[in-house]
């Protein structure tokens, strides 16, 4: 630790200017943190009513895990973070309801329910608050390439593990 603490003063001792100090210390540090966020996981705030009651309307800080191979560890019932297909700048959190090859009933309450076969490389995502959620019922199946990671923990304000919710999903058919 002390060696790292001496790193800055030592550079200055060698005659490094402030600009060079910034170049050698701040930029690599920022890039290091960013790389950890990109390849291991990150902590981000979440907003919106679509995941009630699992997540709050506002103020929850979520731990998003994306260690190598996270896509292969995804299971039906996991919470995932993804980019919305209609707005590349918006991210959202939803629950994974079906994987490629499954057949999903879009709205079981309608008179003529539509059924969708989830294509290869896609998943079906829905919010827990079915009445107030823009999800695969609007977007259709989501390509796996839009997924960012799996939500594993809510770290703030009340730390808790976000468990797989497959047991609370109503009417899941394993074979269609």
Partner 1 sequence: MTSGTAKAFWRKAALAAVVAAPVAIFVTDHVVSLQMINGRSMQPALNPDSNRLRRDVVLVDRTVQGEMAPGRLRRGDIVTLVSPFDPDLLLVKRIIAMPHDCVVPLGKPTSFVRVPKGHCWVEGDESFHSGDSSSFGPVSLALIRGRALTPVWPPSRFGASLAGLPEWKKARVYANGTHPLTEL
Residue numbers of the site for partner 1 (CB under 8 A)?
24, 27-28, 31-32, 34-35, 38, 71, 83-89, 119-122, 143-147
Helix (H) or strand (E) holding 122: strand 122-126
With a CB cutoff of 8 Å and minimum separation 6, the contacts of 42 are 63, 64, 149
Nearer to partner 1, 34 or 103 (CB): 34
User: Measured from the CB of residue 25, what is the shortest distance to partner 1 in angstroms?
Assistant: 9
Nearer to partner 1, 88 or 108 (CB): 88
Nearer to partner 1, 94 or 122 (CB): 122
User: Measured from the CB of residue 148, what is the shortest distance to partner 1 in angstroms?
Assistant: 10
Nearest-5° Cα angle at 112, 104 to 98:
5
Looking at 94, 111, 158, 176, which residue is catalytic? 94
Looking at 2, 10, 50, 163, which residue is catalytic? 50
Structural contact between residues 51 and 34, judged by C-beta atoms closer than 8 angstroms = no
Task: Give the C-alpha separation, 91 to 83, whole Å.
Answer: 4
Q: Which long-range contacts (CB under 8 A, 24 or more apart) does 7-12 make?
A: none
Nearer to partner 1, 89 or 171 (CB): 89
Q: Does 94 qualify as catalytic in the annotation?
A: yes
Q: Does 176 qualify as catalytic in the annotation?
A: no
Catalytic residues: 50, 94
């Amino acid at each position: 630790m002390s060696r790292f603490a001496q790193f800055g003063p030592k550079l200055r001792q060698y005659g490094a200017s402030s600009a060079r100090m910034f170049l050698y210390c701040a930029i690599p540090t920022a890039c290091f943190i960013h790389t950890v966020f990109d390849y291991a996981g990150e902590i981000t705030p979440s907003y919106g009513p679509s995941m009630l009651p699992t997540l709050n309307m506002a103020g929850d800080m979520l731990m998003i895990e994306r260690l190598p191979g996270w896509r292969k560890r995804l299971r039906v019932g996991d919470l995932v973070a993804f980019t919305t297909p209609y707005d590349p700048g918006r991210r959202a959190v939803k629950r994974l309801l079906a994987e490629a090859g499954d057949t999903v009933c879009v709205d079981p309450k309608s008179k003529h329910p539509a059924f969708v076969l989830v294509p290869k490389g896609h998943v079906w995502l829905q919010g827990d608050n079915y009445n107030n959620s823009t999800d695969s019922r609007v977007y259709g199946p989501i390509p796996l390439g839009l997924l960012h990671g799996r939500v594993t923990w809510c770290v703030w304000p009340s730390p808790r593990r976000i468990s797989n919710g497959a047991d609370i999903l109503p009417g899941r058919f394993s074979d269609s």
